[in-house]
Every structure is written in C-alpha cells, then in structure tokens.
C-alpha cells in the first residue's frame, strides 16, 4: 500500500514538473533530397508570433514549451510541423512542386494555399523567368484564368490594359496594382527579373483594399535575400531580333490602276490611268515601313543575408527598337532596386524596398486615322518613296483625302522623346508583443517627373494635308506626380486548444496623390532634330509673344485626391477544416461631396476543407478538396475629381478697358449628389488535388456593378455648351459580368532524368448592361471612317461597348433586286444590301442594330514544360474566342489603295455576294455595317523556349553555381481569320474598343540568352 502511495506521489510530482516545462530545442534543417543544409528557414511556434530562423549552417535554437508545435517554413519547400517532445529536433524538408503557390499574399498578410477562401491566383518567379517578358503584363496573359491582357499598341514600351473578370464600368476599369505594398499606376516601372511572385485577387478578397480594389488587385512582391547566406550573384543577358508577324495583302501598282480605272468608269469619269503599261508592282509601302529591329536586356542581382538582416540589389537595362521606325520608336528602361530587411530587436523588424526607374521613349503616330501604318495601307503603290528631286513624294493631289501621307516622311519627320524618372519606396516596422499580438506600420511613396519634347519642322505632306506644318514649333510638356500611403494595423493571432485558429486585424490607411502639369510651346524654332533645336527669340505680334506658356487657363494645372480608410478583418479556422473570413472597411474619398464622402463596404468568405474529414482523409484518389464561397460590396471612386462642386476651370473671354482678355468661368456642371459606384462580387469555387499530381480549380463568378456614372441629359440653357463646360454626371447605370473559370495542372516526375508539367485554363465571360438611366438610355463612343456616327454603344440588354450599325444580306445582283428591296439611298447592283430591321420599307439610321461586340466569350491558356537531363523546354499558348473587331484601316477613297480581297469584288450578276462593286459615285457601301466587322478570335503561341544547363563538373571548374544558355521565340505564330495586322488590337476603352485603325502589331522576336549564377 505504501509503495502504491509513493508511486502515485512520484507520478503527481512528475506531472506537475512537466506542466509548463520549457525546453531549449536545437537542431539542423536539411534538404530531404540532397542532404544540404538550409539557411534562413523560418521556424515559428504554432499559434503565436514567436519564432527564429536557421543560420548559415542550417542550425537553429529556440525556447519552447514541451508539447507545443514547431512550424518549419522555407521558400520552395513543403511546410512541416513537429510536436516538441525532446530538446533535439533535426528536420528534413522536401521541395514543393507548387513552390510559391504554397504561400499566398492576401492583403496586409499571407495565408497558406490551404487556408485561402477567396479566388486568388499566384504566378511565381519561375514562370516569369520562363517567359522573360518585356513587360510584366505579358507574363499574366494565358497564365491566370479570368485575367485578360490587351495592348494599346505593339510598339516598344506601349502600355497594356488589364481586365480582371470582364469590363465592370464605363469609366476606369484598371485593377489596383501594389508593388511591395505601395500603389503604382502601371507595371512598366518594374523589371520582370526582380519579381518573386504576383498574386491576383479576383473576388471579394480584394475588399480588404477598399475602393481602389473594385476591379481586382495585383500584388507584386520583389525578391529579397535569405538569412545566413553568403553573397549570391545572378546575371541574365538576352538579345533578339524583332519582325512583324503579318503584312496585309494589298494591290500592287498594276492591280491598283485597273481597279481605279474601273471605279472611275463606273461613274462615267475619265480614267486616271489610261496607260498601265510599265506600272509593274510599284511601291510596297508595308515593306518600306516595316523593318527588322534589335532588342536586348541585361539584369544583375546581388543577394546576401546575415543572422539578422537580408540584402537584395537589382540592376537592369532594356532597349527595344520598333519594327516600324526603328530607332525613331525606341524604348529603353533602366532600373535599380534595393531591398533591405533587418531585426532591430528580437521582436522589432524593419523592412524596406526602394526602386528607381528611368524610361525613355520615342513615338510615331499610330492607331489612328493618318497613322504611319494606316498610310502604309492606303498610300497608292504607283507613288514612289522619293520624287525626281530626291525629296519624299506626296500622294496624288486629289482622290486620297487630306489624311493620307507618305509614311516614310512621317517617320523621318518624327522628332520627339518622352523620359520619365521615378523613385518608389516602401518602408515598414513590425513589432511583436504579448505572444499573440503584432503592430505594423508602413509608409509607401512614389515620386515621378515626366518630360516630353516635340519638335515640329516646317514640312508639307501634300496639298491641304492635315499633317502639314506651316510654322515650326517646339513643345515642352512637363508633369510631376507624388503620392503616399500610410498604413497602420494591429494583429492578434492565436490557436486555442489546437483547433481554434483565430486571426484578427484592425487598421487604418491614408492615401494622397497630387500632380502638376505645364506646357511650354515655342514658335519659330529652328534646327534639324531635337538635339540641335534653337528656340526662336520672342517676337511681339498682335496676339502677344510668340513664346507662351499654356496652363490650360489655370484648369487642370494640378490635382489633389485623398482617401481615408478604416478596416477590420476576422479570420477563423476550426481544426483546419472549416474556414471563415470577414472584412468591413469604411472609406472616405475627396472625390465626393459631404453627403456621400464615406461609405461602408463589407465582404465575407467561407471555406470547407473536405479532404480533412474522416470520409476522405485516407482517400487515394482525392489528395485535397476545398469548397469555398465569397460575396461582398466594394466601392469605386475612380471618377474625375470635384464632380460634386462647381470649379473655375472653364474658358471665358472678358473685356477690360476695351481690350479682350482671356479668363476663367465655371467648368463642368456640378452634381452634389454624385456617389460611389458599387461592385457586388459573388464567387463559388472548388480546389481539388488528385493523386498528389493533378490540381484542379473551378470558379463560378457573378459581378454586378451599380451606380455607374453616366452623362445626364440637360438643357443647353444651363451652359453645358460653353467652352470648358460639360453636362453633369449622375449615378445611373448597371452592368453584370458572369462566367466560369477552370484550370487544371498535371505534374509528373518520370525518373531522375525526366519530369514534365502541363497546365490548361479557360474562362467564359458574359457581359451585359442592365440599366442606363439617362434620357436616351444610350451612351455612345468610338469612331469609324470620317464624319460618321459613333459605332459603339452602352445600352441595356447588350454587352458594354457593342457595335451598332447596319446588318447586310449580301449584295444586290440586279436592278430587280434593288427595286424589290426596301428603299435604300443610292443603291445599285453590286452594292451592299442593308437589312430593313424595323420593316418600315425604308433603310434609315433606325435600322441600325447589334452587329458584334469586342468582348471575348472564351479565353484559354496552355502551358507545357519539361526537363530532360540538362535540357529544359517550355511553351505557352493563349486563345481568345468570340469577340469581333472593326476593320477601320481602309480610307475607301477613289485613289487610295485597297486590300487584295477587293479583287473578288462584284463585277456583274453572280460574280460575288461578298465584296461590293468599286465606283467613285455615291453609295452606302462605306457606311458602318457588319461588312466592316470581322471575327477577332485567335490562337497565339506566345513563347517557345529551349535551354541547356551545364553539369556540376563544368560549373565546379568555372566556379559558377549555374550556367545556362537558351534560345527563345515570342509571338511565334497566330492562327486567326482576322485580316488586319494583329487580332489583339484594342485601345482599352470600354465604349469604343476593338476598332482597328492600323494597329501597330506585336512583333515576333527571336532571342538568344544566358543565365549565370555565382
């Protein structure tokens, strides 16, 4: 009995001693495959903010209670959790096939992919390195379901349009872009090689960022050094040659002359080319305009880490000439980046990221009536490049309009440059206290100065040409921008009883952006180019000095916009299976008046990790299964400033002492009731992994945007027609985007020499305007031809920006066809036959109807990669289906050139039912109709790359860590029925996009490159 009592007492004392026992745990962390030590591995105590990292030798030491759980995290490796039962714990980590996909940036924090309840997609640095894009946006096209990228132009340095899950507004549809936490307007300031990851928030998860996030959020994270590592250098060098992917088949000189003669004869006029002998093929203006252009890029990075600090330096330069104009359309970019993070104290960390960017760009006239490529299509092939005197030739005096000019003369006369200097920084402090709390502050700022100079020399392109310069001018346009964001937030993170994972955050954010503009125009400038231009001396004339400063009469000289926000987020997970997240954000914007300045925007999401349930836990088929859903309301304040109050930014003339003086007047009419646009995104999704090899993600989304801003119908009595004035804007529009996203990936390691990876994704999109609350119910936009009604519309029941024109039903074959048809002005056999839509027996503008839209119904991406021994291969393709493009690059005048499909024109009954006759007489054939609307669907092989990496034995001799050579081709081929230069044409406008006026094509480029690590 006494023995039993002693035993119980001993057990009791041992139990008491064990409770709260703290161990000094030590160990080493290694790679499970190679056995190499891993420096910089993050080790945290689960459910707290406490932790440490491994040193240069992979060693670590941490004080922790017995029975607690240590979490080992390392970039590119699978996370591992170990329960502490002893003082020595050695850990081996296995590489993660999904690398950065394991850690997802969600806004003011991160989550593991398993925990995410929103529609978030990650693009890692490996994908970006494979593509080697000139601009980051090119790495997103085809990689991320629901994200569509179009370029304003294929010229060097041209901006891109990013749309996440459709076009949600008739205004600014750009997503919010954050670079290491700071706002940037576009991605051109970032060197793609500096990027660690890109996270795209596509649903209500974006609500944590408030009103700037209504169109989605793109979070860009740049590379950092790793703790306890020696200096590591990476050098990437690449050079390539660019060429156009397509030339439009045009008539040669003989074909052109015959067709012109036929057109003049059809109208009873004398022939312009009575003798076509000797004309031959004439001038191929496209061959003259296009050229093979060089491009190159060099980037270097240096990383290092100590026990407490990490450093990362990046330097890069890129230069790209244009396939039109060569050096006259050159773009070059220089980047310098420095990231520095350090532990000031054990629980106080400092982070910083600074980027300097310098860009220089030269421009040609493009994507408009009279652009260089527009004229390369329309200039007569019978006209030589140079005349008998060796000067640039001019188009015929009549028959080609006043916009068509010698495109080579346009290139020669182009004297302009735009250079931008921008510095961008993000700096933060994180303080951890009381085991479960952390406080963080961040200050982010951007400052940029842009200068644009243009020198217009006296030059004549032809009789009455709109581009003629009668007086030389020098224009200096300057603009400067500054913005800052200050964030401060408090976090609480704790795990209760090992199953209740609670994370809470409250915070505030302040954003301010300002800008200033100034234009100086000097007349009578002399010189031959921008480098030797001499400004003329001030000369008095009846209107004052020849040199004047244009500040837009004081209007828009500067702007100032501000946001003040408060936000809170609660995240809860039970036993790793049941997930919940909710956000409430209060935003205040200076763009709205006192009545509507602040708004409340809630979002929420839920998730269920079904694969953690007992009925699936041991499944050999389903490795992972998560169901999730999200919904919320997100505001949008991206409208013109001060719409709620009258501002003196209009134009006026006043008389003082019998002298006329320029002055100011009230500008656009104010609407004090103007308020937020509101987006209501719904997402229902599922994430599945099968056999630990196949990853599937599927989402249904529906995004409703209400209170769109539209121009009100008002009486002219209130002064809306005055110079500088305009109608007020009202909240009176709604649009819905809905669709389905699907992506599937398969990875396989066949043996130690061979592995491959294949990924496919597609997105369907249905866009419909549901309400336009102005008097007509219609908003028009875009342009077609000369002097015609706008071809694009926003109207309830149709996609935003749909094409509105005449439907055709073939051609009139005989006069009897004309007589039997509804009355159509100037109709004759061989003309387009317009459909009498309203059935009133007369073809009028009321018969115009829907004839297409520029929004794709389906987009797809396919990515394939494999590694065989020392060789690596990857290919990326993208497809867009179901959108239409307006063909507007034909001037359609008597003596302009035409594409070769006009050889199939109507020449008599039964000869053609597709292409109308040619004539110089009046017809309706040039009116906007579906004759000019084409299928814009395409499939493009965006990138193809083959590389070879040298073996370890060679590297050891060279003392390199990596040496790889590769060849790469971008935009290798495009399959499409569209007959223009490039089916990706777009100007980014929600109403007026998809109209091709001679789109500068994206070039096909062949590269050779080298990667060296040492």
pLDDT at res. 249: 96
- Least confident interval from 48-62, 123-137, 603-617: 123-137
Closest CA to 116 of 421, 525, 571: 571
Tokens read off for 866: 């494999």
- Least confident interval from 122-131, 155-164, 217-226, 450-459: 122-131
H or E element in which residue 373 lies: helix 372-378
pLDDT at 537 over 70: no
pLDDT at res. 532: 81
Q: Are 285 and 998 in contact (CB under 8 A)?
A: no
- Report the number of secondary-structure helices (H) and strands (E) in the chain: 9, 55
CB 84: neighbour CB atoms within 10 A? 18
pLDDT in tens, 923-950: 999 999 999 999 999 999 999 999 999 9
What percentage of the chain has pLDDT greater than the value 70?
Answer: 94
Residue 59 pairs in a beta bridge with 28
User: Has this prediction a pTM greater than 0.75?
Assistant: yes
- Calculate the alpha carbon distances from 905 to 229, 262, 801, 901, 926 in Å: 72, 11, 31, 7, 14
Query: Which phi and psi (to 5°) does residue 372 adopt?
Result: -60, -50
pLDDT band at 9 (very low <50, low <70, confident <90, very high): very low
* Stretch 498-504: mean pLDDT: 93
Dihedral sign (CA 210, 215, 216, 221): negative
pLDDT at 654 over 90: no
270 or 227: whose pLDDT is higher?
270
- Least confident interval from 277-291, 331-345, 700-714: 700-714
* Stretch 730-754: mean pLDDT: 91
d(CA 767, CA 735): 7
pLDDT at res. 367: 87
Q: Are 246 and 668 in contact (CB under 8 A)?
A: no
pLDDT band at 312 (very low <50, low <70, confident <90, very high): very high
The strand order across the sheet containing 778-781 reads 778-781, 792-795, 802-805, 849-850
CA angle 498, 501, 502 (to 5 degrees): 140
What's the longest Cα–Cα distance across the chain?
132
pLDDT at res. 16: 39
d(CA 902, CA 914): 10
* Stretch 233-257: mean pLDDT: 95
Query: Which phi and psi (to 5°) does residue 15 adopt?
Result: -65, -45
pLDDT at 290 over 90: yes
Query: Which phi and psi (to 5°) does residue 76 adopt?
Result: 90, 0
CATH of domain 20-96: 2.60.40.1120
pLDDT at 776 over 50: yes
pLDDT at res. 861: 94
pLDDT at res. 555: 39
pLDDT at res. 721: 67
pLDDT at 882 over 80: yes
DSSP H helices, 19-147, are: 125-131
* Stretch 35-39: mean pLDDT: 76
636 or 268: whose pLDDT is higher?
268
Calculated CA dihedral for residues 903, 907, 913, 914, nearest 10 degrees: 30
pLDDT at res. 102: 63
Q: What is the 3-state secondary structure (H, E, C) of 581-647?
A: EEEEEEEEECCCCCCCCEEEEEEEEEEEEHHHCHHHHCCCCEEEEEEEEEEECEEECCCCCCCCCCC
pLDDT at res. 549: 39
For the chain, the domains span 20-96, 101-223
* Stretch 28-48: mean pLDDT: 80
d(CA 629, CA 715): 47
The average confidence (pLDDT) of the chain is 88
d(CA 856, CA 869): 40
* Stretch 810-825: mean pLDDT: 96
pLDDT at 379 over 90: yes
pLDDT at 7 over 60: no
DSSP H helices, 145-187, are: none
Architecture of domain 101-223: Beta Complex (2.170)
Do domains 20-96 and 101-223 share one topology? The answer is no
């Amino acid at each position: 009995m006494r023995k039993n009592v002693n035993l119980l007492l001993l057990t009791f004392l041992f139990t008491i001693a064990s409770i709260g026992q703290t161990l000094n745990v030590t160990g080493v962390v290694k790679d499970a495959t190679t056995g190499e030590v891993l420096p910089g591995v993050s080790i945290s105590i689960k459910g707290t903010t406490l932790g440490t990292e491994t040193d240069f030798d992979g060693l670590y030491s941490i004080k922790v209670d017995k029975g607690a759980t240590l979490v080992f995290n390392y970039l590119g490796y699978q996370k591992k959790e170990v329960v502490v039962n002893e003082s020595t714990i050695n850990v081996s980590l296995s590489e993660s096939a999904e690398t950065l996909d394991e850690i997802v940036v969600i806004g003011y924090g991160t989550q593991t992919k398993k925990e995410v309840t929103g529609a978030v997609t990650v693009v890692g640095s490996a994908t970006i390195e494979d593509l080697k894009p000139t601009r980051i946006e090119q790495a997103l096209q085809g990689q991320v379901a629901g994200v569509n990228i179009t370029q304003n132009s294929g010229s060097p340095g041209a901006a891109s349009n990013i749309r996440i899950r459709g076009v949600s507004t008739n205004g600014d549809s750009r997503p919010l872009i954050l670079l290491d936490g700071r706002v940037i307007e576009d991605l051109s300031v970032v060197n793609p090689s500096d990027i660690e990851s890109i996270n795209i928030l596509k649903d209500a998860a974006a609500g944590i960022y408030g009103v700037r996030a209504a169109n989605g959020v793109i979070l860009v994270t740049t590379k950092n050094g790793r703790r306890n590592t020696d200096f590591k250098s990476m050098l990437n060098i690449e050079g390539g040659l660019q060429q156009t992917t397509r030339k439009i088949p045009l008539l040669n000189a003989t074909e052109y002359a015959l067709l012109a003669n036929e057109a003049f004869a059809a109208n009873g006029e004398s022939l312009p080319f009575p003798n076509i002998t000797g004309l031959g093929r004439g001038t191929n203006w496209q061959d003259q305009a296009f050229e093979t252009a060089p491009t190159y890029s060099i980037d270097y990075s240096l990383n290092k880490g100590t026990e407490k600090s990490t450093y990362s330096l990046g330097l890069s330069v890129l230069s790209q000439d244009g396939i039109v104009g060569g050096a006259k359309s050159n773009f070059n970019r220089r980047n310098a980046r420095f990231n520095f993070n350090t532990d000031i104290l054990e629980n106080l960390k400092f982070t910083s990221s600074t980027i300097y960017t310098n860009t220089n760009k030269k421009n040609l006239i493009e994507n408009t009536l009279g652009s260089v490529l527009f004229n390369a299509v329309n200039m007569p092939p019978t006209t030589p490049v140079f005349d008998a005197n060796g000067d640039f030739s001019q188009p015929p005096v009549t028959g080609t309009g006043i916009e068509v000019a010698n495109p080579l003369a346009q290139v020669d006369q182009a004297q302009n440059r735009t250079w931008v200097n921008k510095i961008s920084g993000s700096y933060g402090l994180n303080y951890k206290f009381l085991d479960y709390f952390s406080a963080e502050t961040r200050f982010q700022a951007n400052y940029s100065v842009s200068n644009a100079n243009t020198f217009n020399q006296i030059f004549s392109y032809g009789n009455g040409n709109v581009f003629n310069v009668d007086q030389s001018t020098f224009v200096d346009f300057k603009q400067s921008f500054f913005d800052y964001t200050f964030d401060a937030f408090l976090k609480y993170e704790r795990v209760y009883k090992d199953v209740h994972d609670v994370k809470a955050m409250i915070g505030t954010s302040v954003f301010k952006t300002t800008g200033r503009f100034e234009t100086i125009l000097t007349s009578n400038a002399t010189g031959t180019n921008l480098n030797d231009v001499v400004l003329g001396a001030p000369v008095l004339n009846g209107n004052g000095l020849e040199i004047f400063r244009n500040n837009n009469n004081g209007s828009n000289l500067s702007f100032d916009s501000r946001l003040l926000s408060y936000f809170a987020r609660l995240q809860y997970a039970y036993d790793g299976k049941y997930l919940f997240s909710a956000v409430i954000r209060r935003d205040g914007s200076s763009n709205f008046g006192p009545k509507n300045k602040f708004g409340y925007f809630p979002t929420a999401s839920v998730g269920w990790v079904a694969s953690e349930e007992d009925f699936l836990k041991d499944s050999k088929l389903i490795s992972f299964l998560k169901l999730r859903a999200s919904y919320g309301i997100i505001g949008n304040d991206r409208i013109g400033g001060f719409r709620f109050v009258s501002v003196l930014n209009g134009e006026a003339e006043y008389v003082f002492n019998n002298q006329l003086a320029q002055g100011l007047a009230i500008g656009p009419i104010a609407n004090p009731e103007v308020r937020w646009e509101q987006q209501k995104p719904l997402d229902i999704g599922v994430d599945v992994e099968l056999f630990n090899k196949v990853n599937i993600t599927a989402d249904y989304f529906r995004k409703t945007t209400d209170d769109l801003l539209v121009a009100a119908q008002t009486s002219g009595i209130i002064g809306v027609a005055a110079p500088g004035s305009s109608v007020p804007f009202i909240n009176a529009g709604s649009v819905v985007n809905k669709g389905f996203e699907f992506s599937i990936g398969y990875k396989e390691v066949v043996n130690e020499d061979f592995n491959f990876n294949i990924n496919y994704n597609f997105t369907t999109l249905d866009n419909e305007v549901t309400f336009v609350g102005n008097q007509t119910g219609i908003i028009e936009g875009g342009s077609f031809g000369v002097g015609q009604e706008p071809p694009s519309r926003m109207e309830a029941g149709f996609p935003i920006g749909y094409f509105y024109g005449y439907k055709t039903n073939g051609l009139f074959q005989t006069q009897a066809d004309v007589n039997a048809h509804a009355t159509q002005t100037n109709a004759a056999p061989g003309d387009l036959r317009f459909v009498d839509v309203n059935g009133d027996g007369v073809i009028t503008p009321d018969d115009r109807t829907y004839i297409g839209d520029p929004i794709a119904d389906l987009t797809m991406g396919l990515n394939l990669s494999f590694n065989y021994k020392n060789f690596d291969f990857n290919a990326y393709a993208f497809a867009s289906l179901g959108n239409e493009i307006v063909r507007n690059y034909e001037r359609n005048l008597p003596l302009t050139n035409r594409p070769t499909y006009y050889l199939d024109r109507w020449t008599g009954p039964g000869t053609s039912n597709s292409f109308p006759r040619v004539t110089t007489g009046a017809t309706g054939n040039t009116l906007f109709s579906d004759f000019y609307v084409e299928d814009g669907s395409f499939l493009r092989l965006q990138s193809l790359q083959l590389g070879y990496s040298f073996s370890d034995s060679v590297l050891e001799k060279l003392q390199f860590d990596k040496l790889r050579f590769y060849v790469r081709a971008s935009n290798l081929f495009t399959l499409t029925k569209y007959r223009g230069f490039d089916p990706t044409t777009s100007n980014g406008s929600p109403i007026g996009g998809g109209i091709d006026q001679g789109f500068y094509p994206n070039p096909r480029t062949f590269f050779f490159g080298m990667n060296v690590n040492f």
